[in-house]
Amino acid sequence: MIRSLCALTAALPVFAASPDFREDIQPILESHCVRCHSESKVKGGLRMDTHEKMMEGGDTADAIVPGKPEESELLIRVHLRPIDEGVMPDEGQMLKHEELELLDAWVKAGAHWPKGITLTEKKPLKPKRVAMPSKAPDSVYEAAEMLDDLMRRENADTGVITTETINDDAFLRRATIDLIGRIPTMKEVREYEKWGTDRRVKLIEKLSNQPRFADRWTIFMADMLRIRSNVTGGNQLLAYIHGSIEQEKPYDEVVRELISASGRSNSNPAVGYILGDDAAPMELAAATSQIFMGVRIGCAQCHDHPFDDWAQEDFYDLAAFFGKTKQVRSRRQNGSIYTTEGDEMTILWPPEDKADPEDRRPVKPKFPFQINHSDKKPDYIKRYEDAMLVRKQKNAKDDGNASLDALLDSVEPNVGRSSNSVLKEAKAESRKLDVHGDIYRASELRKQLADLITDPRNDYFARAFVNRVWAELIGRGFVEPLDNFSDYNGMHHPSTLDFLAQEFIASGYNFRTLVRMITLSDVYRRSTLPSDTPLALREKSEKNFAAAPTRRMIGEVIYDSVVIAGHLQDYKWPKGANNKEVIREIRVPTGEYTMVENDTPAPAMMGEKKMAMRDDGYDLESSLKLDFNSILSSKEQTELIAMREESDQKIKDAEMAAMKMEQTRRVMKYKTETITETVDDNPRFDSAMRMATPAPPAHFLRVFGQPSRVGLGEFRDDASSLRQQLMMLNGRMTHEASRVGPLEPIFKLLQKDQNLAIDWAYQEILTRLPSAEERADARVIVNHSAEGMADLRWALLNSNEFRFIP
């Protein structure tokens, strides 16, 4: 302890004079401390609004010991790391280095506080903005240039290092990984080499039109929306999102459908969003605000928002939009689940714990966010309205009867502008029904809410999404955490964010346009900093988007990249080439029966699917593709008619009876036997992009950070772990990918010319040629043998260079 205190003292910068209280200290205390340490809120028993109160100290220690920063609790705490307990400020932003130095010097010099000054909370300043471009961009290329220009101006005096742009090889790899979720194939490398100087533009164009683009970005949306295959409507929602991206359905339209949908997943897959939270109003209000607007108003559910200005009542106002939505389990069809609208408002004010039941009144829904009503219509809104007009005309042409469709907005199966006959039939079926009196009642309230949220004048909506897409492509958001837009949280490069958001709106919320604007910019092409960069400078440059942060591929992308690099999507061995005898245990029926309960939850917890273990334990690497088309073309539409209104209680009773019946069933007893059999070990691996989601616990994808998608604000964990390394080092997939199969091109190449084969391996796995030194090393490793080549490929696949994006 003594030693460390000396170190603190020694590290303090020597100030000639004490910092000036009014000039230097007061602003720090007012913007970082007084909010929670003054008369209205006395956290930790400490007040810092007056000198006297501050000197009284807090519950545990003296906040300030004049002349002794090392004994001043305040100073100790502000110096802690963000993850340490007791770190201050507890909320909002950490103090800057300069501010820490000022505080240290001030206390050291005696912590002088001029008489009579009382501090009041100072709201954080609005982030500084620079002038926006004077005209609208004519093309997506021009938009990318304008973005770069804004970024340059916003970085003008930040003192960051702006790195060079990456070379064309690296760009091919980076863009392919980001846009379609795997490394480029040899064929794509060759094609790219042939393209001329505009090859980057061509590449972005091509990639953003590939089918895999929808696969890759479905994962992004599934993370954002917390889509889970194992909850009601999960797979339908996944398929719906995939279809929406594939068909370029505008983002605002998608969100309107998600928020307002009613009914059953089979006929209206968008309802999966509402069903995902069991149609619970509080949960949905919190999720909807945080996901689509980046505002964590959910924290105000139990109390006024502790770190922000949201009041509990604001939250209740918002929740009331969901307050008539009910989730119902139908009596028929094994109790399928749907949503409908009730007549009664279930959200009551004041909250349950703050008033007697009879004093609580139904809440009238009110949108707590400001919609920007300026007199002069901004140019991007005009352009948005033009885009809307085109969209409307197109929609009307695609399927007639637009007015009735509008009425049935939330009943119709909105899978893009689909001409799917099953869906048409379902729609026709819906039309026969009395919309008001029927079982799947549309939600007027949620429709209103959806319109308010997606209003182009709601500043939160486009910005929140742009921030997420930007972070996915660049590695860091303008706002971090991505879903915490708040005056107290700060924002980097607000003008660049505004510009992108406005262009996104003007494009009619076209997702691909947004991706193109970003990926065509210079910002997207920044290289990472060299190893000798001082850490503080590195941090600052990366935060300001002047240098690329080091990003790892997400689990799904690593998986698919190993498959592609190792030619595992096809058989690479002739039939019978890998025949081997294996001993394994099998279960055979004994002829006896036993009773089991049906609904015993598997030991795998909390709705996670139980994993069927393969005998060799390699199940954690398998992938099973979902067929999105068949998920959406369900034949269960007839149920719509069958289910007429029944009272909730009646349905419930029938449900209970049915459950009881199903609770136990007879099953055959099995015994385990050991057998020997010959298998042809010639595996193929599928893409991990369309797997049921999330993967089972301990699966490759989960180990590489796929979130459980249960909690709000749960982001991908991109940290390294021991388990990841074990799965790559010793996994079956990497092993099979390394082996040189006779049916893959490198096999013949290796027999013909070892040097060419080495170059091929490098290009196929790392999208670049080896250096002279690497080539020399590789020659020793390969030594004209397939085993040697397997060793080289194994190492390349396991290398950091493979896993981290150039």
Q: Which of residues 760-789 bind another protein (CB under 8 A)?
A: 774, 777, 781, 787
Ordered alpha helix ranges (H), 310-407: 312-319, 379-398, 402-407
Smaller CB separation from another protein, 242 or 296: 296
Number of Cβ atoms within 10 Å of the Cβ of 373: 6
CB of 307 to another protein, least distance (A): 9
Vertex 730 angle, CA 729 and 732, to 5°: 120
Q: Which of 618, 743, 747, 759 touches another protein (CB under 8 A)?
A: 618
Q: Does 698 bind another protein (CB under 8 A)?
A: yes
Smaller CB separation from another protein, 607 or 745: 607
Q: Does 583 bind another protein (CB under 8 A)?
A: no
Q: Does 131 bind another protein (CB under 8 A)?
A: no
Q: Which of residues 548-567 bind another protein (CB under 8 A)?
A: 549-550, 552
CB of 606 to another protein, least distance (A): 6
Smaller CB separation from another protein, 420 or 550: 550
- Among 457, 454, 478, which Cα is nearest to 466's? 478
Q: Does 616 bind another protein (CB under 8 A)?
A: yes
Dist CA 606 CA 604 (whole Å): 7
CB of 315 to another protein, least distance (A): 12
Q: Which of 433, 577, 658, 712 touches another protein (CB under 8 A)?
A: 712
Smaller CB separation from another protein, 195 or 747: 747
The site string for another protein over 288-327 (x = CB under 8 A, - otherwise) reads: --------x-xx----------------------------
- Among 359, 365, 361, 366, which Cα is nearest to 348's? 361
Number of Cβ atoms within 10 Å of the Cβ of 97: 9
Instruction: Name the token pair of 564.
Output: 């592609």
Smaller CB separation from another protein, 71 or 429: 71
**If you count DSSP H runs as helices and E runs as strands, how many of each does the chain have, helices first?**
35, 7
Q: Are 683 and 594 within 8 A, CB to CB? A: no
The site string for another protein over 620-659 (x = CB under 8 A, - otherwise) reads: ----------------------------------------
- The dihedrals phi and psi of 117, each to the nearest 5 degrees, come to -85, 125
Vertex 719 angle, CA 739 and 87, to 5°: 170
Which segment (78-86, 125-133, 139-147, 204-212) binds another protein by CB under 8 A? 78-86
Dist CA 683 CA 733 (whole Å): 9
Instruction: Name the token pair of 744.
Output: 């893959």
Q: Does 714 bind another protein (CB under 8 A)?
A: yes
Q: Does 84 bind another protein (CB under 8 A)?
A: yes
| Terminal C-alpha separation, the chain | 44
Smaller CB separation from another protein, 180 or 782: 782
CB of 620 to another protein, least distance (A): 8
Q: Which of 40, 569, 720, 783 touches another protein (CB under 8 A)?
A: 720
Question: Which 3 state secondary structure label does DSSP give 34?
Answer: coil
Q: Which of residues 159-178 bind another protein (CB under 8 A)?
A: none
Q: Which of 708, 775, 779, 786 touches another protein (CB under 8 A)?
A: 708
Q: Does 91 bind another protein (CB under 8 A)?
A: yes
Q: Which of residues 496-535 bind another protein (CB under 8 A)?
A: 528-533, 535
Q: Which of 603, 635, 649, 666 touches another protein (CB under 8 A)?
A: 603
Q: Which of 14, 16, 17, 602 touches another protein (CB under 8 A)?
A: 602
Which residue pairs from 161-164 have beta carbons closer than 8 angstroms and sit at least 24 positions apart in sequence? 161/529, 161/533, 161/537, 161/541, 161/546, 161/547, 162/526, 162/541, 162/546, 162/547, 163/526, 163/527, 163/528, 163/529, 163/541, 163/546, 163/547, 163/548, 164/526, 164/527
Q: Which of 35, 77, 174, 264 touches another protein (CB under 8 A)?
A: 77
296 alpha-carbon distance from chain centroid? 15
Q: Which of 713, 747, 759, 779 touches another protein (CB under 8 A)?
A: 713
Task: Give how many residues touch another protein by CB under 8 A.
Answer: 110
Q: Which of 197, 600, 647, 676 touches another protein (CB under 8 A)?
A: 600
Q: Does 422 bind another protein (CB under 8 A)?
A: no
- Do β-strands 263-264 and 325-329 pair in parallel, antiparallel, or remain unpaired? unpaired
CB of 370 to another protein, least distance (A): 24
Q: Does 676 bind another protein (CB under 8 A)?
A: no
Q: Does 792 bind another protein (CB under 8 A)?
A: yes
Dist CA 516 CA 519 (whole Å): 5
Dist CA 207 CA 200 (whole Å): 10
Smaller CB separation from another protein, 212 or 779: 779
Q: Are 639 and 336 within 8 A, CB to CB? A: yes
- Among 548, 545, 513, which Cα is nearest to 528's? 548
Smaller CB separation from another protein, 456 or 475: 475
CB of 642 to another protein, least distance (A): 28
Q: Does 593 bind another protein (CB under 8 A)?
A: no
Q: Which residues contact 160 (CB under 8 A, 6 or more apart)?
A: 537, 540, 541, 544, 546, 547
Q: Which of residues 232-291 bind another protein (CB under 8 A)?
A: 277, 283, 286-287
Question: Which residue do the tokens 């991007």 mark?
Answer: 380
Q: Does 14 bind another protein (CB under 8 A)?
A: no
**Amino acid symbol at 610:** K
CB of 705 to another protein, least distance (A): 6
